[in-house]
């Protein structure tokens, strides 16, 4: 959206990430004077609950010696990003162009060479299109996106906490030693691991610092658990309920899905392009999809399945099992000493042949079933 106000340049853009509040901004400027530090200067980040992701600059400067603002502002609300190349080195481009760096002023690097990006439309061109671009302006949006995902996974994180997670979970590489504070390049996968670790180690506490009142991850914790994609169907959580759309050949959309051949005597084209709520499921924390089977992990730690019943995790005498559109609880995901639901995480593969399912319990044990080829 565009914002206006006293001292704010006309047409200034900000990014709205959460509701109606500005929680993240992503921009760069070539300002190199002390005026950038003045509170009245519109380009200076204000500590109003906003984490500012700033490009470090493209002049091959050492920002420790020749600051580039706002990236060089010493603030817990600023995240300064340099550009790395395909070899995890400080990116250099044609002529004197290259990423700025700074052992004390640049926080981390992110890929900024040959990034496929939207391009400006020239007067003679019909559309905007895409092109390969270089620059810290290519690297900074990737970090901004990572921070946005963090804030979505963990809304309780403060700006400084989110900033520190991004910095701490980089891939530390020798080529960036002494070039930035973290000595590394952005790694989104490690950030995800960091968020899951406190719960999967059985600490009994949530990574936001509060007590874990339920045995399952809350819906806000994992983006991978808020939506799932099977072979030809999709699941999404909204306010604790599960919505599904796509193919319903095996009942994977639930009881509200279009009719199908219960005994699979013939191929079916049953499908719905409109999201349908799956009844009888409440307080769902995560969803997963394995080929033509749907799964839900509820806040009480129980796991439920519907669709192709071969992946329900139940012992069966044969493989001629009709589809089950009504969610059924998957039993036996616990040891004899501690009976009862205790799952905290679920994931599934949607690969051909049926896929497989993984469930982690609060005691740290991992349970798996499905295709083992």
pLDDT bucket at 58, cuts 50 / 70 / 90: very high
pLDDT computed for residue 75 by the predictor: 77
Average pLDDT (109-135) is 84
What span, in angstroms and rounded, lies between the C-alpha atoms of 189 and 105? 25
The DSSP result for 62-126, as a single string, is: BTTTS--TTTT---TTEEEEEEE-TTSSB-B-STT-B--B-TTT--EEEE-SSEEEE-PPPTT-S
Average pLDDT (27-51) is 45
Residue 107 has pLDDT above 80, yes or no: yes
CA distances from 365 to 63, 149, 310, 345, 362 (A): 48, 27, 23, 11, 7
Residue 219 has pLDDT above 70, yes or no: no
Structure-token pair, residue 92: 């250099």
What span, in angstroms and rounded, lies between the C-alpha atoms of 241 and 280? 9
The DSSP result for 203-243, as a single string, is: -SB-TTSSB--SSS--TTT-HHHHEEE-SSEEEEEETTEEE
Residue-wise pLDDT tens digits, 271-280: 888 889 999 8
pLDDT bucket at 160, cuts 50 / 70 / 90: confident
pLDDT bucket at 27, cuts 50 / 70 / 90: very low
Residue 311 has pLDDT above 50, yes or no: yes
Instruction: Cis check for the bond before 70: say yes or no (omega within 30 of 0).
Output: yes
Structure-token pair, residue 354: 């049926």
User: Left (φ > 0), alpha (ψ -120 to 50) or beta: where does 11 sit?
Assistant: left
Residue-wise pLDDT tens digits, 172-208: 999 999 999 999 999 988 887 666 543 333 222 223 3
Q: Rounded mean pLDDT of the chain?
A: 75
Expressed in percent and rounded to 5, the helix, strand and coil fractions of the chain are 15, 30, 55
pLDDT computed for residue 135 by the predictor: 94
Host H or E run for residue 26 = strand 24-27
What span, in angstroms and rounded, lies between the C-alpha atoms of 361 and 201? 10
pLDDT computed for residue 122 by the predictor: 73
Residue 19 has pLDDT above 50, yes or no: no
pLDDT computed for residue 92 by the predictor: 95
pLDDT bucket at 138, cuts 50 / 70 / 90: very high
What span, in angstroms and rounded, lies between the C-alpha atoms of 64 and 102? 5
């Amino acid at each position: 959206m565009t914002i206006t106000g006293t001292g704010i340049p006309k047409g200034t853009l900000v990014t709205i990430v959460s509701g109606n509040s500005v929680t993240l901004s992503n921009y760069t400027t070539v300002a190199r004077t002390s005026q950038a530090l003045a509170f009245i200067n519109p380009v200076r980040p204000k500590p109003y609950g906003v984490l500012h992701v700033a490009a470090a600059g493209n002049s091959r400067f050492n920002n420790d010696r020749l600051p580039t603002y706002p990236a060089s502002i010493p603030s817990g609300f600023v995240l300064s990003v340099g550009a790395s190349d395909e070899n995890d080195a400080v990116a250099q481009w044609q002529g004197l162009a290259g990423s700025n760096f700074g052992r004390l002023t640049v926080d981390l690097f992110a890929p900024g060479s040959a990034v496929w990006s939207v391009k400006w439309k020239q007067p003679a061109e019909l559309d905007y299109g895409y092109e390969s671009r270089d620059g810290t302006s290519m690297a900074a949006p990737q970090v901004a996106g990572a921070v946005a995902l963090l804030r979505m996974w963990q809304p309780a994180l403060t700006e400084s906490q989110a900033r520190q997670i991004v910095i701490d979970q980089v891939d530390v590489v020798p080529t960036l030693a002494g070039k930035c504070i973290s000595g590394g390049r952005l790694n989104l996968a490690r950030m995800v691991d960091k968020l899951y670790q406190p719960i999967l180690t059985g600490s009994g506490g949530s990574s936001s610092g509060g007590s874990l009142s339920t045995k399952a991850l809350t819906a806000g914790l994992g983006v991978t658990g808020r939506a799932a994609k099977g072979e030809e169907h999709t699941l999404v959580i909204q306010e604790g309920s599960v919505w599904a759309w796509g193919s319903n050949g095996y009942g994977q959309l639930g009881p509200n899905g279009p009719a199908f051949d219960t005994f699979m005597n013939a191929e079916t084209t049953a499908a719905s392009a409109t999201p349908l709520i799956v009844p009888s499921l409440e307080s769902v924390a995560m969803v997963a999809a394995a080929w033509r089977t749907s799964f839900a992990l509820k806040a009480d730690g129980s796991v439920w399945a519907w669709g192709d019943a071969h992946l329900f995790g139940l012992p069966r005498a044969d493989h001629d099992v009709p589809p089950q559109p009504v969610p059924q609880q998957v039993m036996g995901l616990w040891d004899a000493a501690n009976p009862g639901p205790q799952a905290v995480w679920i994931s599934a593969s949607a690969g051909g042949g049926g896929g497989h399912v993984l469930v982690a319990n609060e005691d740290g044990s991992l349970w798996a079933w499905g295709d083992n080829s």
